[in-house]
A and B are shown apart, each in its own frame.
Chain A
Amino acid sequence: MTLLYTEVEEELRASVRDLLADRCGPDAVLKRIESDAPYDMDLWKTLAHQIGVAGLLVPEEYGGAGATAREVAVVLEELGRAVAPVPFLTSAVLATKALLEVGEEDLVRELASGDVTAALAVPLSASPYRPLPETVTVGEDGTLSGQVRAVAGADVADVLLVPVGAELYRVAAEHARVEVVPSLDLTRPIATVTFAGAPATALGRFDARRVLAFGAGLLASEQLGVAEWCLDTTLAYIKERHQFARPIGSFQAIKHRMADLWLDVVRARAAARNAADLLAASSAPASDPPAPSGASGGAGADAELAAAVAAAWCSEATLHVAEESVQLHGGIGMTWEHPVHLYLKRAKAAQIALGAPGAHEDAVAELADLPGPV
């Protein structure tokens, strides 16, 4: 194992970064968020077809790249750095992981190509460590009825994956009503998804904790990318911005805050890399027996602890860096035209996504044997 980046990972990063620099600069994103199509599906298709990001987690026998959580994490860092409005986390990570866990093959193949997009129909705020809210039920005829709020990536999904109890169902998007609501995070809008007797196919038993914890551990890498952009951009600004006849970055009151932010980001990088590395190791290929999940021990427990640590730390650290970034930009940081607010909004939404920091700390209590009061 290594906490550094391999050459292959750096090459993947470079190709994603080049494409995003070309197609997804701050001006383009600012324009898109107020358009009819907040998700950039052309960019998504290019990422999928040219670089193959949609199939990173998918084994080669199903048309994917047979890569691991480590490569996925690098892509997430770059997408976070650009707050790129593409359904990578929702389709290529969460939905794909859910399908791989239930052993689905055909849809996985389609998702890997990038031609079909899916979303896991759970609130983005769902915690891995609590039962999912039971807002959808199965009728006697096998159809689904009910409503799920705050689903990310739903409006661009062709297929919705709906957990009901311990079972995962597949519903074609045209059989659900998907209403995009005004979202705090402008670059990852959420929608309310309503099923009214929607035809559904049962796919198998679904371990929500395993899938959501996997997602939370990798979301940490996206958060790292957000934090890195905020730190770099703020650093450039305070070197240029002059007040009192000197760069404001020469004042100790500001330098010391920047040093603390840098230290937070250094540790976020180590935590996110560690989570990606252990999640990669514990996600055994399809032919191997599944790694144990939860506190039952082994690589699965180590990976879950690493994911909880990364999720707790990167959520708070990234939000802190984004908030400081707005403050250190002064008045310009409060304007709509400067992109820093996109990062603040992503950081705040991501803090809640897939378990708030407190939920991950509770998981640490369980996994690291630090019990609460009796």
Chain B
Amino acid sequence: MTGDDVASLAREFLAAHDPGDRLEFLRARFDAGLAWVHFPEGLGGLGLPRELQLVVERELAGTPQLDTGVQGIGLGMAAPTILAFGTEEQKKRFLRPLWTGEEIWCQLFSEPGAGSDLATLATRAVRDGDEWVVDGQKVWTSGAHHSRWAILVARTDPDVPKHRGMTYFVCDMHAPGVEVRPLRQITGEAEFNEVFLTGVRLGDDLRLGEIGDGWRVAQMTLMNERVAIGGAPVRRGGGMMGVVTETWRSRPELRTHDLHRRLLRLWVESEVTRLAGTRLREQLSAGQPGPEGSGMKLAFASINQALSGLDVELRAEEGLEYDDWSFRRSESVDFFGRGPGYRYLRAKGNSIEGGTSEILRNIVAERVLGLPSEPRVDKDVPWKDLPR
């Protein structure tokens, strides 16, 4: 099927469905295979190359859109993992409401004692007949407060080295024993949460992948996460750059020579990073994200931080103000919204969330460049014997 075929398919779909009813329209779009054309038929796709999705997006630009700020984790991380490792029943059950936004997803990976060293995580899942009983604490969970489901990694075998004793689950966020507490951040609001899991019972049909294979399944999620954070298509001069240049152009009295030089350098860096992302997507159009996506996320974080800092500096008096420090739940993840102070502070998270920039540099060095790892003392020791 060519781009023209896909375009006419999308136009036929649009002619036959009323975009006025948002939810029904999105459901029908999923059923027509126009949700993500590179997914298989029957699962929201048509089994086509990934780049043809752009054709669909162009044709359906004026119709109801997904709320990527709220659905980001489901779309960017849970969905590709479910597609790769889920059973047919799991794919059928989860993907449609995930895509339409009827069910929101969050991610239960990081723990207070397991951040960069995620594989040392301590949340236990113990088999009990056809069920698993989960106990532990997760943290940095964006959107847990409105999530229906979570992707969860838990320890199922403490007697083997840490990378081998984990299993990946879908966690029912409505199950008894799941407690979500907001975690206030430097921006003043609570976008993240702590999630306490106490005797949470999950059916074995919520297990994703084999028992003990959780680390491999999680890698799929994490690589997709980095592409989702750093690899999203932007137009030239868009994203955070667009926010800054709007002020720059409309308020000439704020400009200085020093800011001009720095802005130009960042513009060039943003543009070459955008081009590298475009090139990466061309390479990956048929396949899966590789470790190269980590590089894009590194660049994205650094540029976002520099630009949002420049924005505060540029605005002078206005940069000294802050829109709202009140402690409240955020409705969605938003890198580019609100005031310059919020954006500056929120951008600090870009080099921490989804793999710190330090860990990403290790990944690039080891998996892309083939450099040896640091000597490790924790690789062949059973998890239960590791110092904590």
List residues of B whose CB falls within 8 A of some A CB: 237, 245, 248-249, 252-253, 255-257, 260-261, 263-265, 267-269, 271-273, 275-276, 278-279, 282-283, 292, 295, 298-299, 358, 360-362, 364-366, 368-375
Are B371 and A238 touching (Cβ within 8 A)?
A: yes
Are A267 and B264 touching (Cβ within 8 A)?
A: no
Chain A residues 234-273 with CB under 8 Å of chain B are 235, 238-239, 246-247, 249-252, 255-256, 258-260, 262-263, 266-271, 273
A320 to B357, CA, bound (A): 20
Contact of A252 among B253, B362, B370 (CB under 8 A): B362
- The answer to whether A267 and B275 touch (CB under 8 A), given A255-B362, A313-B268, A370-B267, is yes
- In the complex, chain B residues whose CB is within 8 Å of the CB of A247: 371-372
Most chain A CB within a 10 A radius of its CB, from B237, B252, B271, B364: B271
Against B, the Cβ 8 Å flags (1 = close, 0 = not) of A355-374 are 00010011011001111111
Are B245 and A370 touching (Cβ within 8 A)?
A: yes
8 A/B residue pairs, CB under 8 Å, sorted by A: A235-B370, A239-B371, A250-B372, A259-B360, A266-B292, A267-B299, A358-B261, A364-B264
- The answer to whether A365 and B272 touch (CB under 8 A), given A262-B295, A263-B298, A269-B279, is no
Contact of A262 among B257, B364, B372 (CB under 8 A): B364
A333 to chain B, nearest CB (A): 18
Are B267 and A364 touching (Cβ within 8 A)?
A: yes
- In the complex, chain B residues whose CB is within 8 Å of the CB of A35: none
Instruction: List the count of A-B residue pairs having beta carbons below 8 Å apart.
Output: 131
A247 to B271, CA, bound (A): 36
In the complex, residue of chain B having the shortest beta-carbon distance to the beta carbon of A369: B249
Are B283 and A259 touching (Cβ within 8 A)?
A: no
A330 to chain B, nearest CB (A): 17
Are A267 and B282 touching (Cβ within 8 A)?
A: no
Other A-B pairs beyond A256-B361, A364-B264, 20, CB < 8 Å:
A3-B275, A235-B369, A247-B371, A250-B371, A251-B374, A252-B374, A255-B361, A255-B366, A255-B369, A256-B365, A263-B295, A263-B364, A269-B279, A270-B279, A313-B268, A362-B264, A364-B267, A372-B255, A373-B256, A374-B252
Most chain B CB within a 10 A radius of its CB, from A2, A263, A361: A263
Q: Is A312 an interface residue (CB 8 A)?
A: yes
- In the complex, chain B residues whose CB is within 8 Å of the CB of A362: 264
Q: Is A14 an interface residue (CB 8 A)?
A: no
Are B260 and A259 touching (Cβ within 8 A)?
A: no
Q: Is A274 an interface residue (CB 8 A)?
A: yes
- In the complex, chain B residues whose CB is within 8 Å of the CB of A255: 361-362, 365-366, 369, 371
Contact of A270 among B278, B365, B368 (CB under 8 A): B278
In the complex, residue of chain A having the shortest beta-carbon distance to the beta carbon of B248: A370
Against B, the Cβ 8 Å flags (1 = close, 0 = not) of A198-215 are 000000000000000000
- The answer to whether A258 and B257 touch (CB under 8 A), given A312-B268, A374-B252, is no
Residues of A in contact (CB 8 Å), total 43
- In the complex, chain A residues whose CB is within 8 Å of the CB of B275: 3, 267, 270-271, 273-274
- In the complex, chain A residues whose CB is within 8 Å of the CB of B248: 370
Q: Is A28 an interface residue (CB 8 A)?
A: no
Complex A-B, nearest 10 residue pairs according to Cβ-Cβ distance, in ascending order = A255-B365, A270-B275, A259-B364, A259-B361, A3-B279, A250-B372, A270-B276, A267-B272, A361-B264, A373-B255
Are A262 and B272 touching (Cβ within 8 A)?
A: no
Contact of A267 among B260, B276, B362, B369 (CB under 8 A): B276
Most chain B CB within a 10 A radius of its CB, from A3, A246, A251, A259: A259
A80 to B138, CA, bound (A): 51
A267 to B296, CA, bound (A): 9
A262 to B298, CA, bound (A): 12
Contact of A370 among B257, B263, B282, B362 (CB under 8 A): B263
- In the complex, chain A residues whose CB is within 8 Å of the CB of B268: 309, 312-313, 361, 364
Q: Is A181 an interface residue (CB 8 A)?
A: no
A66 to B257, CA, bound (A): 44
Q: Is A196 an interface residue (CB 8 A)?
A: no
B310 to chain A, nearest CB (A): 12
- In the complex, chain B residues whose CB is within 8 Å of the CB of A372: 255, 257, 260
- In the complex, chain B residues whose CB is within 8 Å of the CB of A250: 371-375
Are B269 and A313 touching (Cβ within 8 A)?
A: yes
A4 to B362, CA, bound (A): 26
A24 to B364, CA, bound (A): 32
A332 to chain B, nearest CB (A): 19
A373 to B253, CA, bound (A): 7
Most chain B CB within a 10 A radius of its CB, from A247, A309, A365: A309
- The answer to whether A266 and B264 touch (CB under 8 A), given A250-B374, A255-B365, is no
In the complex, residue of chain B having the shortest beta-carbon distance to the beta carbon of A268: B272
- In the complex, chain B residues whose CB is within 8 Å of the CB of A269: 276, 279
- The answer to whether A370 and B272 touch (CB under 8 A), given A2-B282, A258-B365, is no
A136 to chain B, nearest CB (A): 33
Are A262 and B371 touching (Cβ within 8 A)?
A: no
A137 to chain B, nearest CB (A): 36
- In the complex, chain A residues whose CB is within 8 Å of the CB of B272: 267-268, 270-271, 309-310, 313
- In the complex, chain B residues whose CB is within 8 Å of the CB of A370: 245, 248-249, 260, 263-264, 267
Are A239 and B292 touching (Cβ within 8 A)?
A: no
B356 to chain A, nearest CB (A): 12
Are A266 and B372 touching (Cβ within 8 A)?
A: no
Most chain A CB within a 10 A radius of its CB, from B256, B263, B275, B361: B275
